[in-house]
């Protein structure tokens, strides 16, 4: 149970950083969904954030890269994600 609470707090910090630094301030329902059931992997989470904003990464490659960089930094700290910086 503690692991889920930690992960949920990590997702909250990740989403806060995306909001403050990149302007990706998700609606409360989308934010809750990502906190409760975060998609696996850096690309999956990045795409979920963009989709929650009504965007597709292929339409905004530079913005997707910025979001992905933040997501990767946060997810690299999660045990068992299999995603590591500088792959």
pLDDT for 9 equals 87
Number of C-beta neighbours around residue 70 at 10 A: 20
pLDDT for 70 equals 96
Domain boundaries of the chain, sorted by first residue: 2-75
pTM strictly above 0.85: no
CA distances to 21, 34, 66 from 16, rounded to whole Å, are 8, 12, 15
Mean per-residue pLDDT pooled into runs of 10, the chain (87 residues): 68 95 94 91 94 87 95 82 43
Match 């975060």 to its residue by tokens.
38
């Amino acid at each position: 149970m503690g692991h889920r609470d930690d992960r949920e707090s990590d997702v909250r910090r990740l989403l806060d950083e995306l909001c403050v630094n990149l302007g990706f301030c998700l609606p409360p329902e989308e934010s809750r969904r990502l906190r409760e059931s975060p998609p696996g992997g850096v690309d999956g989470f990045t795409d979920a954030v963009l989709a929650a904003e009504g965007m597709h990464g292929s339409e905004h490659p530079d913005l997707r890269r910025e979001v992905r960089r933040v997501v990767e930094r946060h997810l690299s700290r999660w045990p068992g994600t299999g995603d590591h910086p500088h792959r």
